[in-house]
Structure 1
Amino acid sequence: MSCQHAVSHTNFSTNQTHHVVKLSSQDYVKISLHGIVSTVGIVENLLILAIVGFRVRRSIISVWILNLAASDLLATAFLPFFTLYMARGMTWTLGPTFCRIYSSIFFLNMFVSAFLLAAISLDRCLVVVKPVWTQNHRSIQVVRNVCWVIWTCAVVCTIPFYMFRDAIPGGPGKVFCYYNYARFLPKEPYDLKALCKQRKEGLAFMKLLLGFLIPLTIIVISYVTVSQSLARRGSRRPFRFVRLVVTVVVVFVLCWAPYHLFIILEVLAPKGSPTQKFASGALLTATTIGFLNSTINPILYVFSCPDLCNKIRQSLGAVMESILAEDLGELSRRRSTARSSLSNSELMVRKKSCSTALVLKSEERDQTEVLSL
């Protein structure tokens, strides 16, 4: 998307003429898969939040998982809008403001996931390398505070992407939810083309460094340090949570590396070159893979943590039991009400009989007393 093209349509109306969208069978398959993935992702992350939040004893590990699941839920909750975008032939119809919000959630999830994984890796490293220090300073409240800082930093990093995202007309009946680097132009004289190029490169490398390379470097250094420390102690005992985090990190790299690769290729390749065209076309698939990370993580939590898997089974069982208990309870209440009403009737009859008998006996006694006189 050229900067001049963005400038000429900065103040455009998103009301476009009706355009019939023609989708191929391959498009229908992609859209259906996106719909399934978004639905599964929302259900999975809601389940993880519910189980870890209400059924698992609060611990440092559960706080980390809760924050990762919250970030993933936020991303998967907005994935249906990306599916709608595809279903309408890559035409955005929800307005520029929601385009910025939807795009910002995608980038927010990217930054939060990267920062959290880096923080978890550092936490694991400190537990192994500095056990005495962590025992004295590491607590649930400290981890919660770290998570608040991470979310705040991620929001700050997302602001530039919110600012330069816009709904851009791209042809007859087409509106793209993409970057508009010509927004918020300076008052002093400037070279528009150079300014747009500078902003484009700045955002791309900001994502690459803060959302991928720097966190990945911290993660790698942390786990190399952990491995060396364990090797020096002669310890080969596997840490279950370490295995979980390593798996999550590998999946994070596999899901986000293609996205950052194609973003950098698109920025650095000459305009109109085959490389740039290929990178631009591949970005859609790379974005889908990035979203897929939020759907895979809950599966990793379940299969890597047997305790969590058991909690989920117990919780689902408890839900079914509560449903059955309500039905059985209602039936039992009805039976008990019927029995109680029957018992009350019998009791009333017995009371009346007893009263009558007492009256008769009293009358007989009175008559006897009278006769005896």
Structure 2
Amino acid sequence: MELENATTSLSPSLSSSPSPSSSPQPPSALQWVWQLQLVCAVLGLPANAFVLWLTGWRLRCRGLAIFIFSVAASDFLFLANSTLQIWTAAHGHRWPLGTPLCRLHRFLLDLAYYGGLFLLAAISLDRCLLLLAPLWYRCRRPARWPAGLCAAAWLLAGCCSAPGTALAQASEVMPGLVVCRRERGRWQQLLGWLEVVLEGLLLPVGVLLLCNGAALAVAAARRRRQHGAGGLPARFQRLVAATLSGYLAIHLPFQLAQLLSHAFPRRFASLAYFVALAFNVGSCLNPCLYLLLATRACHRCVTRGDTGPTAPLPPGSVTPAPPPAPLPVPPGATTPMQSDTATPVPPDSTAPVPPGDPTPVPPGAPPPCPRRDPAPSVTPPPPP
């Protein structure tokens, strides 16, 4: 991601005559750029922090929440690093913090960028496996499968950020103006093409298109086989649209702008810089989308009757219902029982039971135990 190099090319002092006493300032036409970045940082950092707290602490990073947690972490990291860009842009694009902090800033910025890009691919892969292998996904899927996908995405993002970190340094492009950028020397064009084509286009686009294309094909085939010809489920359509729109609206235009800036450096040198502002806007709007989805989920729960645990009611707020009044029975509703319906039993129908002979007790039998009277209860004396 050539954000710092594009920023350097926008500085008016690089095209003017060098002067040690000159104080390079950004042109007035570009002041709205860092002002927009400032607004996105002020609004997006608290919103992403709230999403991190909600998914990490309240939901314990279970299931799909861990993907939302990782995407919010990449957005938060990107906006936090954009504050350094705002500070340097407001001070004439100078970098007075030295090479070590320049490399750290470069690594975190690229990590946030590639992390968000590969997390979209990880979400597409997870949803694709859910549709292609539902039995394995629901019964035999490892419990840490979402965490493993997110860890693999962050690890791949770190590997892609390492080359740019090693080449970043605080260099003096003209007297009195030190900027943070990558120095590639004669390998500038080759490494730039590899970075844009391989890391930005082929790898994530291939995973996105392959996973979503296979999922759409399988879903359409199952839909036709079960319910005849018809469209895809609305929920799955929204999921695929949300995954692809995040890439098509932000990442793909930036990669195309970098391709144009590499192919035609004189005409499109600053195009990638302006397109990269979409990352700030997207990182600020993503928490609003998460909250909107959560509101729809709560609305569905209420519609289905699953309202969850209810709060205890205060005493006195519930009035007991009065007992029902007994209904009067009319006099003719019951029929009296006639006395001649019972058949009398004659007195000679029962035979008397003859008295039985007593059973003699053998002489060796033990004598019966004497009866013991219960012990009298003792009442304790009263305390003095």
TM-score norm. by structure 1 comes to 0.66
2:347 maps to which residue?
none
- Aligned counterpart for 2:168 among listed residues 165, 168, 171: 165
1:296 maps to which residue?
285
From the superposition, tell whether residues 297 and 266 of structure 1 become closer, same or farther in structure 2 (CA, over 3 Å): same
Measure the CA separation in 1 of the matches of 2:281 and 2:193. Answer: 21
1:238 maps to which residue?
234
From the superposition, tell whether residues 53 and 224 of structure 1 become closer, same or farther in structure 2 (CA, over 3 Å): same
| Identity level (%) | 24
2:349 maps to which residue?
none
- Aligned counterpart for 2:259 among listed residues 252, 259, 264: 264
Residues 262 and 280 in structure 1, CA contact (< 8 A), matched pair in contact too: no
1:73 maps to which residue?
76
1:12 maps to which residue?
none
Q: Does 1:43 align with 2:32?
A: no
Residues 100 and 166 in structure 1, CA contact (< 8 A), matched pair in contact too: yes
Partner-residue secondary structure (3-state), 2:266: helix
Query: What amino acid maps onto 1:212 in structure 2?
Result: L
From the superposition, tell whether residues 208 and 104 of structure 1 become closer, same or farther in structure 2 (CA, over 3 Å): farther
1:185 maps to which residue?
none
Measure the CA separation in 1 of the matches of 2:21 and 2:253. Answer: 35
Residues 45 and 73 in structure 1, CA contact (< 8 A), matched pair in contact too: yes
2:244 maps to which residue?
249
1:144 maps to which residue?
147
From the superposition, tell whether residues 144 and 27 of structure 1 become closer, same or farther in structure 2 (CA, over 3 Å): same
Report Cα offsets for 1:79-98 as digits up to 9, x if no partner: 11011121122222222221
- RMSD over aligned CA atoms reads 2.7
Partner-residue secondary structure (3-state), 1:276: coil
From the superposition, tell whether residues 145 and 23 of structure 1 become closer, same or farther in structure 2 (CA, over 3 Å): closer
1:343-354 equivalent positions in 2, closer than 5 A = none
1:123 maps to which residue?
126
Cα distance, 1:264 vs. partner? 2.5
Partner-residue secondary structure (3-state), 1:167: strand
Give the greater-gyration-radius structure (CA): 2
Cα distance, 1:69 vs. partner? 0.9
From the superposition, tell whether residues 51 and 81 of structure 1 become closer, same or farther in structure 2 (CA, over 3 Å): same
From the superposition, tell whether residues 43 and 308 of structure 1 become closer, same or farther in structure 2 (CA, over 3 Å): farther
Measure the CA separation in 1 of the matches of 2:75 and 2:143. Answer: 21
- Aligned counterpart for 2:117 among listed residues 114, 119, 122: 114
From the superposition, tell whether residues 58 and 282 of structure 1 become closer, same or farther in structure 2 (CA, over 3 Å): closer
1:94 maps to which residue?
97
Cα distance, 1:251 vs. partner? 2.7
TM-score norm. by structure 2 comes to 0.65
Cα distance, 1:278 vs. partner? 2.3
Moved more, 44-53 or 256-265: 256-265
Residues 130 and 137 in structure 2, CA contact (< 8 A), matched pair in contact too: yes
- Aligned counterpart for 2:273 among listed residues 252, 275, 284: 284
Measure the CA separation in 2 of the matches of 1:244 and 1:45. Answer: 21
Partner-residue secondary structure (3-state), 2:234: coil
- Aligned counterpart for 2:34 among listed residues 9, 20, 31: 31
Q: Point out where structure 1 has 5 or more consecutive residues left out of the alignment.
A: 3-15, 183-195, 270-274, 311-373
Residues 303 and 309 in structure 1, CA contact (< 8 A), matched pair in contact too: no
From the superposition, tell whether residues 17 and 80 of structure 1 become closer, same or farther in structure 2 (CA, over 3 Å): farther
Cα distance, 1:132 vs. partner? 0.7
Measure the CA separation in 1 of the matches of 2:284 and 2:143. Answer: 26
Residues 110 and 211 in structure 1, CA contact (< 8 A), matched pair in contact too: no
Measure the CA separation in 2 of the matches of 1:243 and 1:165. Answer: 40
From the superposition, tell whether residues 40 and 208 of structure 1 become closer, same or farther in structure 2 (CA, over 3 Å): farther
Query: What amino acid maps onto 1:111 in structure 2?
Result: Y
2:215 maps to which residue?
226
Measure the CA separation in 1 of the matches of 2:133 and 2:87. Answer: 49
Measure the CA separation in 2 of the matches of 1:203 and 1:102. Answer: 19
Measure the CA separation in 2 of the matches of 1:288 and 1:18. Answer: 32
Report Cα offsets for 1:5-30 as digits up to 9, x if no partner: xxxxxxxxxxx967534444433322
Residues 302 and 308 in structure 1, CA contact (< 8 A), matched pair in contact too: no
Partner-residue secondary structure (3-state), 2:184: coil
Q: Point out where structure 2 has 5 or more consecutive residues left out of the alignment.
A: 6-18, 300-384
2:205 maps to which residue?
216
If each structure's helix is expressed as a fraction of its own residues, which one has the higher value?
1
Partner-residue secondary structure (3-state), 1:90: coil
Q: Does 1:180 align with 2:183?
A: yes
Measure the CA separation in 2 of the matches of 1:177 and 1:225. Answer: 43
Partner-residue secondary structure (3-state), 1:280: coil
Query: What amino acid maps onto 1:238 in structure 2?
Result: A
From the superposition, tell whether residues 299 and 139 of structure 1 become closer, same or farther in structure 2 (CA, over 3 Å): farther
Measure the CA separation in 2 of the matches of 1:96 and 1:18. Answer: 24
Measure the CA separation in 2 of the matches of 1:97 and 1:180. Answer: 14
